Chain A
Amino acid sequence: MENKADQVLSIKVMRLSRPLFTQCDPHHLEFGYLTDTKPLSEADWFSLAHADNDLDMTLSPRHGLLLPQSFGTIYLGETFQSYLRVQNVGSFLVSNISIKADLQTAAQRLPLTKKKNLTLDQLESQQSTDDILSHEITELGTHILVCEVSYQVGLGEIMTSSRYYKFQVLKPLDVKTKFYNAESDDVYLEAQIQNTTLDKPLCLDKVTMEPSSLFEVQTGWGTSWSNASHLFGGIVNIVQPGEIRQYLHCLKPKQDVRSNLRLLRGESNIGKLDLTWRTTIGDRGRLQTSQLQRMVPNYGDVRLTIQELPNPVKLYEAIGFVCKITNTSERPVELSLILDIRSKPAILWTGISNRPLEKIDPNHSVEVCLQLVPIMPGLQSLSGLKLIDLLLKRTYDYPDVAQLLVLP
């Protein structure tokens, strides 16, 4: 089918990655007596007298843009753009031309020509038709650009010719996530984003969280990266190949969901991370992670959370705080609150231990006011609270429910 010698229509393809800035060497020769000639063109020899202007030679506008000289590398999320030129190189009129360009991946075959088939009535000798193909790459691995042309010379039979161009799509980023379920039902997402390209420093434009239906992203967190460069310490917002950047997102349950603990507990989908980046001369890439799953926290049947706790506190001064006890089980519970003191206490409880609490219905909670006295300075852990289910004789232990900064 493909017989180049006979082909009347030639197919040429060129990937249109961004044009390059010329990087030229500065030739800032001081007026050495040998080299000091009036330069023929500005770009030849420079004297240090114009050193400041020479800085301008960095990626200079005095040197033109260069067309890309090779295919280069292409990464998932980037846009593949290509010039497609079909030219009549024969000496006869060619008619009934149909041009088709597809991108064949392991999974699918995507048409790239705008209309499914680009059709032309005729092309005279040396005439050509030009098109720019554009496709956002969404698959890894081998891609084959298939260009097929069918045409008729004179009244002869329909001829076809096709060309194949193969390229590999690589993975630009590696995203690792960790979740922290806070007592307050907030979810913290720590995302480690590593540049896994070989040679492309990435300018991470945007790393945002697209939350699932139950959550909203706390504003001020991860929404605006306009001053990202300041955030990352340097002056330049860039992730070099191999480098890792950490992002922290805070997701809060929506207000109406907050009370519905069961619904919240059942939800393991947190949302998706949206990443956009740019590389050389603004070449853009975009990726979205799949739905991120968290480990649903297991609160047991009875949940104890701290509502109000002054912080920091003074040594030896009694403080009061409020804790909230929620029945997350299906039945009513009757509880007794124990204030335990460990062998080397950092805090002392004030109040009655082993105090029975009122009965709590399913999905209801009570608030209990407690008092303690810190007796050791430093960051102390609030431990020793225990609840005993009087019916089932089961003990719920709550070590380390909160931290307290004790100032001397």
Chain B
Amino acid sequence: MASGLPDALERLALKAEQSENEQGTSFSKYFGQPGNTDDIFDTIVKPSRLADEEPKINFFKSPNSTPSKEDVHQNYPPKFAFKKGEKESEPKIFSYFSQPTTTAGELNTNNDATEFFDQMSQLASKSHEPIEIAGPGFRLSSEDINPSKACSQALPVTESTTIPSNQNSEASVSADTEHSSQVSSTSAANLVNSSHNISSVGAIRVFTPQPVVPNLVNETDQTVKTLSDSQERASNWWIPKEPVRLWLQSTRANFSETFHPSCPGLLNSIELTDPIKDLLRHFDGEAAAAERQTLTADMVTQDAQGIRDLIKVGCYRAAANLCGRLLTACGQGYGKAGQPSKHTPHSLNLWMTRLALLKKSNLVEMAVNELDAFGDLDSPDFYYEYYPELNDQKKHGTMVPFTFRLLAAELPAHHNRVNEAHMKLCHLLSTVRRIIRDIDQFAALDKMNEVERREAANMWSDRETAVLQSLITCSLMKKDFHNVVRLFHKQLHRPGHKPNPTLYSALGRVYLQIGDIPLAQQAFNCAVDLRDINKPGDAIASLTDAGLVAIAQNAFSEALGYFQQALALQPDNPVLVNNTAVCLLYVGRMRDGMLLLEENLGTKPEMMIRNDTVLNVCTLYELESSLTVQRKLGMLRLASKWKNDDLNIASFKLQIQ
């Protein structure tokens, strides 16, 4: 072990991307206190509660390793007696926390003023000291490296989420973190374990997958994409706001009153019902309603797989119900709002899924109310560091999935609070851009290898794009077309990005929405130039664009021609059917349009029943003089046979007496 250990540590240190120069010093310190071997890992992963026990010499952060950082000097002066080492035990890995306090002012300024208003433009090149991002390579728990999705599913769907059944040596980790001796021993075991792996596997990857806990294996779903180890780490990066960072760095005692943990809970004890069934019951009676068979939360396994199964078949409300049940199991069920509970990646994923499903089911009000408890998703209890008992997983950073943040930011827009959503999205964007910039700084400092840098950069630039997309949607809601177009141009002219015809096409539609036909035509022309006319998909896209321009010019018969041409290429495309039918109305052939829709809905219901087709055909029924309600009911009955609750019942335009 003695020979393997320094080797391993050196690798770790290198991986840790922190101490380049002074490893020797650290090592000597380290070996000067042989009893503390485990602390290397503790400093990495344990938040400060363990700190009392032992001097926390931060192995990866030796004093002069990163001269550019002032925090190094602040945090490791000799004046810190070993017995008061808490200050040093700040979670170095999640090193957004390890910013020197002196920078607080500047960070705040940036957060609040510059970056906030600097929404659309690149972040001002105002120089911050490099902010560290959690370096890859700290993860010692080899379970996380499992390339299956188990890594993200490490927590079984039970109340016992806090102690995931980790492998062998860690089984004895107790949530009681004061028992440092115990923790030490387990960590030591872990260390041995890791070093063993390292030496045995060789150089490619420092860590090797360990056998996965069987029940996790069972859950592995082939269709599920997985994140690699470093990807997942990069995925968890986040920049907390300054008070939170301080809080997480500090000993809890001093700050115990300064923040209120978020205590979400379901606000409704009644499960959601299937609206189509309710509508059927109203018009056709109980018997007809009973004939409608959809999956409910009772009919699937009560776990994540069940949720996936429900979503797969479009039973969104049932899936939201199941999320609710699982959350109840996590102690965040009905009536638990306001009561202390513990967040886990699992519970947060459940919340995110539930809220997304509620939004999708047009239950925005409910989603907004349930979201309230989460605040800005940036209190200490959303970080791994807050939960010492999770440390055996060696996870760091935020537990909140990025998509959750995005969802939380854009949700107010659907609740008539577009400006609020806009502000939140801008804030999100500024943080994402800071992280992207920091990635490059890390790469520049040689703290990440190229593959990891690229992975992280790709992930975060995808996230940036997602935020931009939300901002565009939000700006469109505000009719702030200046912003929309500016964002599009920014996206189109991203450096190193291939021009994308769909983007140009979307820009053209924005111009049409504005009414600027020449510019729309220009954008569509750009799209055409980038397309391959021989591909049916591309030809259809171009024909659709041309049809829309014709509509804008009030040339509906011309537009009809374009859509009919496209429809001939792809007769099963519901959008083309729909648009052709719309044009038929505008040229005075309402009945033809109605029949076209009806025929397609009847013969290819699975594909054709969508909100737009149903709404349009029911609108035409109103224009058709006879039997309007009967026809609409017919559509409802048809849909009830083919669709689960991923259809907005308002599309039927039925009035409930």
Contacts and interface: CB of A to CB of B under 8 A. Distances in A.
A16 B586 contact: yes
A284 B552 CA distance: 9
B229 to A, nearest CB: 15
A366 interface: no
Interface in B158-191: none
A55 B503 contact: yes
B625 interface: yes
A236 B616 contact: no
Nearest to B356: A29
A54 B470 CA distance: 10
A382 B513 CA distance: 53
B506 A56 contact: yes
Contacts of A59: 476, 506, 509-510, 513
Interface string B442-486: 000000000000000001001101101110110011010110111
Interface residues of A, number: 78
A235 B486 contact: yes
Interface stretch (B74-82, B106-114, B308-316, B384-392): B308-316
B512 to A, nearest CB: 6
Interface string B313-330: 110000000010000000
A355 to B, nearest CB: 60
Contact of B590 (A30, A45, A130, A226): A130
Interface stretch (A63-71, A96-104, A297-305, A392-400): A63-71
Interface stretch (A31-39, A183-191, A255-263, A318-326): A31-39
A55 B472 CA distance: 8
A271 to B, nearest CB: 26
Given A33-B224, A58-B473, A130-B589, A87 B624 contact: yes
Contacts of B153: 33
Contact of A12 (B484, B509, B519, B623): B623
B646 interface: yes
Nearest to B612: A64
Interface string B576-594: 0011001001111111000
B506 A31 contact: no
Contact of B481 (A26, A40, A44, A201): A201
A206 B578 CA distance: 34
Given A37-B312, A45-B311, A279 B402 contact: no
Interface stretch (A17-25, A105-113, A146-154, A332-340): A17-25
Contacts of B313: 40
A235 B223 contact: no
Contacts of B311: 34-35, 37, 45
A278 B516 contact: yes
Nearest to B459: A48
B623 A85 contact: yes
B551 interface: yes
A65 B469 contact: no
Interface in A61-87: 61-67, 69, 79, 83, 85, 87
Interface in B487-537: 488-489, 491, 500, 502-503, 505-506, 509-510, 512-519
B293 interface: no
A27 B646 CA distance: 13
Contacts of A283: 515
B141 to A, nearest CB: 18
A229 interface: yes
Nearest to B227: A31
Contacts of A32: 349, 352-353, 401, 403
A85 B619 contact: no
Nearest to B149: A33
Contact of A27 (B360, B585, B588): B360
B553 interface: yes
Contacts, number: 262
B462 A34 contact: no
A66 B406 contact: no
Contacts of B485: 235-236
Contact of A240 (B410, B479, B489): B479
Nearest to B481: A236
A10 B622 CA distance: 12
B591 A34 contact: no
B544 A65 contact: no
Contacts of A238: 481-482, 514-516
A174 to B, nearest CB: 19
Nearest to A35: B353
Contacts of A237: 514, 516, 519
B503 to A, nearest CB: 6
A137 interface: no
Contacts of A67: 582, 585, 615-616, 619-620
Contact of A49 (B462, B513, B620, B623): B462
A131 B625 CA distance: 15
Contacts of B472: 55, 58
Of listed A54, A65, A283, residue having the most chain B CB within 10 A: A65
A40 B644 CA distance: 12
Contact of A23 (B223, B227, B360, B473): B473
B552 A281 contact: yes
Contacts of A12: 622-625
B469 A55 contact: yes
B304 interface: yes
Of listed A235, A277, A283, residue having the most chain B CB within 10 A: A235
Interface string B265-305: 00000000000000000000000000000000000000010
A282 B553 contact: yes
Contacts of B307: 34-35
A282 B590 CA distance: 22
B350 interface: yes
Contacts of B613: 64
Contacts of A30: 235, 401-403, 463, 466
Of listed B359, B484, B588, residue having the most chain A CB within 10 A: B588
A404 to B, nearest CB: 41
B469 A130 contact: no
A51 B401 CA distance: 16
Nearest to A9: B625
Contacts of B574: 64
Of listed B476, B500, B585, residue having the most chain A CB within 10 A: B585
A54 B223 CA distance: 21
Given A30-B403, A57-B469, A61-B544, A47 B225 contact: yes
Contact of B462 (A10, A51, A64, A284): A51
A62 B312 CA distance: 20
A280 interface: yes
B516 A26 contact: no
B70 to A, nearest CB: 35
Nearest to B593: A67
A364 interface: no
B626 interface: yes
B591 A130 contact: yes
A35 to B, nearest CB: 5
A282 B312 contact: no
Nearest to A285: B515
B517 A126 contact: no
A407 B495 CA distance: 47
A282 B551 CA distance: 8
Contacts of B312: 37-38, 40
**9 closest A-B pairs (Cβ-Cβ)?**
A282-B552, A278-B515, A64-B578, A203-B515, A10-B625, A56-B502, A51-B465, A64-B612, A59-B509
Interface of A: 10, 12, 14, 16, 18-19, 21-23, 25-38, 40, 43-45, 47-49, 51-67, 69, 79, 83, 85, 87, 89, 126, 128, 130-132, 201-203, 205, 226, 229, 234-238, 240, 277-284
7 contacts: A32-B401, A55-B469, A55-B503, A63-B575, A67-B619, A69-B615, A205-B515
Given A33-B149, A235-B486, A283-B515, 12 more contacts: A28-B406, A35-B311, A51-B463, A65-B578, A67-B615, A128-B625, A235-B482, A236-B514, A278-B515, A278-B552, A281-B551, A282-B554
